[in-house]
Amino acid sequence: MTRRVVVTGMGCLSPIGSDWEEVSKNLREGRSGVSVRPKLAEIDGMETSLAACLDDFKVPSYYSRKSVRSMGRVSLLATRATEIALLDAQLGGSPLLGDGRMGISYGSSSGSPSAMQIYSKCLTDGTVRGIRPTHYIQFMSHTVPANLSQFFGVRGRIITTCSACTSGSQGIGFGFEAIQSGRQDVMICGGAEEFHEANVAVFDVLFATSTKNDAPRETPSPFDENRDGLVVGEGAATLILEELEHAKARGASIYAEVLAFATNGDGKHITNPDSDGMRRVMEVALAEGDLQCEKIDYVNAHGTATEAGDIAESLAMHGLFGNRMPTSSLKSFLGHTLGACGAIEAWITIEMMREGWLAPTLNLEVVDPRCGELDYIRDGVRESATEIVMSNNFAFGGINTSLIFNRWED
């Protein structure tokens, strides 16, 4: 018998807040986390000066130097989000952390770019002076789940999801599968990303960034015919997933049930999005959850505000759901938080479902006619009692993910 999986704890650090009260207020009031970053303007050839950052993040004073010396900013963000989630799930300091039945499934686009920059001294400056052994631990691809395991003493399976913009959603999905199959009872799942100029440059050289440098509150604008690109962000989010009977036995509060997860590859192009692959991953998720299209009440779109991505995703959704599907992109508020986006957006989607409302796509004024006809949510929050919601993410390399969550009734 397939085991049911529920969400029993959540923690997040996002460009628009780190607790649900603050985040929901900003979503309702149409306030984004995008701002001008003067340092970007100082880089020769960089067209954008925009990003969505966590300027007020501070490492908690009770984190010992020894416990964080192997962490770059990306791991520190993930650690704090995970600490919040574990406390929320009433698992802080629990013996479950070390009994082998709790694992970690977590990712980021890469290790800490700041640590990579230090290591490059051996090439740029011709010296290894100033490079510490821990810098490698900070930038290795599995730095986040490895550091989480050490910090919290987790001894179950460790799954690394280093898959760019699907890192966070794969983190949740693979954790779900580990519990569903009976291999673990509890999983720490999510994704994280730290801001670094190199991450912005990746998209800037592809002419994919927004250059509305004089109007940071007017961008990004997913699905809008006048959009001009994405804005890079940072953050982290952790979901504690747990087998249903295990959660009930310890009296845990439940946020939602994870009904299905799917991931696939386009197998066509390394950077160009493919509408067929996007549609196929949603179809597989529906099949895994034994659901018909009509059961989905809302789709949280990947919605990057790039021309090719928006069009491909919209056509995929329209081809599957027709024009009835309510949809919006949270990246219009958060920027594109890369490896963290799937986890942050899942967290917000679950909270909106619990409270019965849906955030709009900020800055969406005129829908691009090349996008499929969908029920694009704009002009403010929509009150809506949703029961089953889908959250999708798509990454370079043609990697696609789809998560489906069910409203939980006590």
Place of tokens 């919605």: 303
**Domains of the chain, first to last:** 5-249 (3.40.47.10), 262-407 (3.40.47.10)
Catalytic residue, candidates 12, 53, 162, 165: 165
142 is catalytic: no
Nearest in space to 149 (alpha carbons), one of 191, 110, 183, 105: 105
Per-residue pLDDT of the chain (410 residues; tens, 9 = 90+): 689 999 999 999 999 999 999 999 999 999 999 999 999 999 999 999 999 999 999 999 999 999 999 999 999 999 999 999 999 999 998 888 889 999 999 999 999 999 888 878 787 888 888 888 899 999 999 999 999 999 999 999 999 999 999 999 999 999 999 999 999 999 999 999 999 999 999 999 999 999 999 999 999 999 999 999 999 999 999 999 999 999 999 999 999 999 999 999 999 999 999 999 999 999 999 999 999 999 999 999 999 999 999 999 999 999 999 999 999 999 999 999 999 999 999 999 999 999 999 999 999 999 999 998 899 999 999 999 999 999 999 999 999 999 999 999 87
Q: Is 336 strand, coil or helix?
A: strand
Largest CA distance in the chain: 62
Catalytic residue, candidates 142, 196, 302, 318: 302
Contact 299, 392 (CB under 8 A): yes
SS3 of the chain: helix, strand, coil, percent, to 5? 40, 20, 40
Beta strands at 102-107 and 186-193: parallel, antiparallel or unpaired: parallel
Place of tokens 């460790």: 158
162 is catalytic: no
Catalytic residue, candidates 53, 336, 341, 371: 336
Contact 80, 19 (CB under 8 A): no
165 is catalytic: yes
Contact 43, 34 (CB under 8 A): no
Determine the straight-line distance between the first and last CA of the chain, rounded to whole angstroms. 23
